């Protein structure tokens, strides 16, 4: 499916979808427990994959309310009723298909390490190209079995044989999801798990999201001098868990308001409740760039108006998902916008550094790409409509749609259906604010 975007002025009030990161963790935490109602979850393709994994391990996951389609394409559900597998997952009867969800693959890999038998995990072509080696090594060093069928550290994976826990050393600069997976699984092992980080932790706020969710389910974790520790022998328990709004998805709405809000009007985004989400940094980034933005934390609302933006330097070591959004803002801003500490952003659904450099250049932007940075020369940029490729990456599609709001002529973004991964209804939301956007 292609999205066609024309220059637009937008205004109005809307609501960000629920957090994908929190929804994933809440579903699996409920799976480790006995029975939980997860309210206000994101009903999209990725969380659905985590729900199927919980069912494969012996739990039951029932989505209620709106958006009941199996692919999650219709939007948020009212709630998820989860009957868990009581701490120890059963050996699955069949292969677990994680589809395109890297979070599912990594969280479920550690859970599979607890099974007495063996679980087989796979996914689509993109997911089968993403690195899992450090997590596989960790499961094996903790007493389980974990192998890549192609012996390249990538899915398909074979995992199981009841890892016992203990101390493990892993790199912190590949994916914070390795830490999350081990903390979640370690709580129900006998020994617990202590994680020593061999390198600096990237995307650290995502681990704090995990610790926040685990605390809400009654599971204790702690920081150590060299990493994290979760004591063993714990139980997950929460009758109800409410998912907060998603700041990663919110970033596209806020960026759209900052570059394309109608004169004298603005965009108000609801659902911005403070949480551990690192991507709430988008508010600070926009403020530093000169946007007229106000966050009413008590009300959970952010208002933004179109403003003259200026380039800044942004370190995305903890906020990799913001790179596409910031790159688009940089193309509209005066001066240079330098996005640094970005090498780990190359290992997402696609190489987002290279993909944004290529796409922005097609739209007429001047960019400089290095291994760990992307500089957008806004002062030398005039955006013009072109056909740009989403590369099967929901975040690229949404960021490039924002660029299309201010590019001269029509912009076509291919692979637009991939917004269903994290923001079903994204194009409908943009249209409701007045954006000239259509899909076919």
Read off the pLDDT of each residue in 149-163 and give the average, rounded to a whole number: 97
| pLDDT exceeds cutoff 90 at 381 | no
Q: Report which DSSP code applies to 32.
A: H
Read off the pLDDT of each residue in 154-163 and give the average, rounded to a whole number: 97
| pLDDT exceeds cutoff 60 at 5 | yes
Q: Please, are residues 336 and 379 in contact by the beta-carbon 8 Å criterion?
A: yes
* CATH code that applies to domain 20-233: 3.65.10.10
Q: Which helix (H) or strand (E) holds 81?
A: strand 79-83
Q: Where are the alpha helices (DSSP H) in 170-311?
A: 177-186, 204-216, 247-260, 281-289
Per-residue confidence (pLDDT) for residue 158, from 0 to 100: 98
Per-residue confidence (pLDDT) for residue 77, from 0 to 100: 53
Could you give the angle at which helices 102-112 and 177-186 cross, rounded to 10 degrees?
Answer: 30
Read off the pLDDT of each residue in 306-321 and give the average, rounded to a whole number: 95
**Tens digit of each residue's pLDDT (9 = 90 or more) over 198-253:** 999 988 999 999 999 999 999 999 999 999 999 999 999 999 999 999 999 999 99
Per-residue confidence (pLDDT) for residue 74, from 0 to 100: 41
Q: Report which DSSP code applies to 37.
A: E
Domain coordinates in residue numbering, the chain = 3-17+246-439, 20-233
Q: Please, are residues 25 and 53 in contact by the beta-carbon 8 Å criterion?
A: no
**Tens digit of each residue's pLDDT (9 = 90 or more) over 53-105:** 999 999 999 999 754 434 333 445 589 999 999 989 999 999 999 999 999 99
Per-residue confidence (pLDDT) for residue 269, from 0 to 100: 97
Say how far residue 116 (Cα) sits from the centre of its chain. 30
| pLDDT exceeds cutoff 50 at 51 | yes
Per-residue confidence (pLDDT) for residue 65, from 0 to 100: 77
Q: Please, are residues 117 and 144 in contact by the beta-carbon 8 Å criterion?
A: no
Q: CATH 3.40.720.10: does it fit domain 3-17+246-439?
A: no
Say how far residue 26 (Cα) sits from the centre of its chain. 14
Query: In whole numbers, what is the pLDDT of the chain averaged over residues?
Result: 95
- Of 257, 253, 258, 260, the C-alpha closest to 8 is 260
Binding-site residues from annotation for 3-phosphoshikimate = 20-21, 25, 175-177, 203, 321, 348
Instruction: Compute the distance between CA of residue 399 and CA of residue 426 in angstroms, rounded to an integer.
Output: 11
321 is catalytic: yes
- Of 15, 60, 59, the C-alpha closest to 432 is 15
CATH topology match: 3-17+246-439 vs 20-233: yes
185: Cα within 13 Å, side-chain hemisphere: 29
State the DSSP string of 94-143: S-EE-TT-HHHHHHHHHHHTTSSSEEEEE--TTGGGS--HHHHHHHHHTT
Per-residue confidence (pLDDT) for residue 76, from 0 to 100: 52
Higher pLDDT, 381 or 52: 52
Q: Are strands 411-414 and 387-389 parallel, antiparallel or unpaired?
A: parallel
Catalytic residue among 279, 318, 321, 420: 321
Q: Which residues in 105-141 are b (16+ Cβ under 10 Å) and which e?
A: bbbbbbbbbbbeebbbbbbeebbbebbbbbbbbbbbe
Q: Please state, for a pLDDT cut of 70, what percent of the chain lies above it.
A: 97
| pLDDT exceeds cutoff 70 at 9 | yes
Instruction: Compute the distance between CA of residue 210 and CA of residue 192 in angstroms, rounded to an integer.
Output: 16
Read off the pLDDT of each residue in 404-420 and give the average, rounded to a whole number: 97
């Amino acid at each position: 499916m292609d999205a066609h975007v024309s220059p637009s002025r937008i205004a109005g009030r809307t609501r960000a979808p629920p957090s994908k990161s929190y929804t994933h963790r809440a579903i699996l935490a409920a799976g480790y427990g006995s029975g939980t109602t997860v309210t206000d979850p994101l009903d999209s393709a990725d969380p659905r994959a985590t729900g199927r994994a919980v069912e494969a391990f012996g739990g039951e996951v029932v989505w209620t309310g709106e958006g009941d389609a199996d692919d999650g394409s219709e939007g948020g559900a009212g709630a998820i009723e989860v009957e868990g597998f009581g701490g120890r997952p059963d050996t699955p009867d069949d292969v677990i298909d994680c589809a395109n969800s890297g979070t599912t693959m990594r969280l479920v890999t550690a859970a599979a390490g607890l099974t007495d038998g063996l679980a087989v995990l796979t996914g689509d072509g993109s997911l089968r190209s993403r690195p899992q080696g450090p997590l596989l090594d960790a499961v094996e060093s903790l007493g389980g079995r974990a192998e890549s069928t192609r012996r390249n550290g990538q899915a398909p994976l074979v995992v199981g044989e009841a890892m016992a826990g203990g101390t493990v050393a892993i790199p912190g600069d590949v994916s914070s999801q390795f830490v999350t997976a081990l903390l979640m699984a370690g709580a129900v092992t006998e020994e617990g798990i202590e994680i020593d980080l061999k390198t600096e932790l990237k995307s650290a706020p995502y681990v704090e999201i995990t610790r926040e969710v685990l605390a809400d389910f009654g599971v204790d974790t702690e920081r150590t001098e060299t990493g994290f520790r979760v004591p063993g022998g714990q139980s997950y328990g929460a009758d109800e868990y409410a998912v907060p709004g998603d700041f990663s998805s919110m970033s596209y709405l806020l960026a759209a308001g900052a570059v394309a809000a109608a004169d004298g009007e603005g965009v108000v985004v609801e659902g911005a409740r403070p949480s551990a989400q690192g991507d709430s940094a988008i508010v600070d980034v926009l403020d530093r760039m000169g946007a007229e933005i106000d966050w009413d934390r008590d009300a959970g609302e952010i208002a933004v108006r179109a403003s003259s933006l200026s380039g800044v330097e942004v370190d995305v070591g903890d906020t990799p998902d913001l790179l596409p959004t910031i790159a688009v803002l940089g193309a509209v801003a005066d001066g240079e916008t330098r996005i640094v500490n970005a090498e780990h952003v190359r290992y997402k659904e696609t190489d987002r550094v290279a993909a944004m450099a290529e796409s922005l250049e097609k739209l007429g932007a001047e960019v400089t790409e290095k291994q760990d940075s992307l500089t957008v020369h806004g002062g030398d940029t005039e955006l013009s409509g072109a056909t740009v490729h989403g590369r099967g990456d929901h975040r690229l599609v949404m960021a490039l749609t924002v660029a299309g709001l201010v590019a001269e002529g029509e912009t076509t973004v291919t692979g637009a259906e991939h917004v269903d991964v994290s923001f079903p209804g994204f194009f409908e939301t943009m249209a409701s604010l007045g954006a000239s956007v259509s899909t076919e």
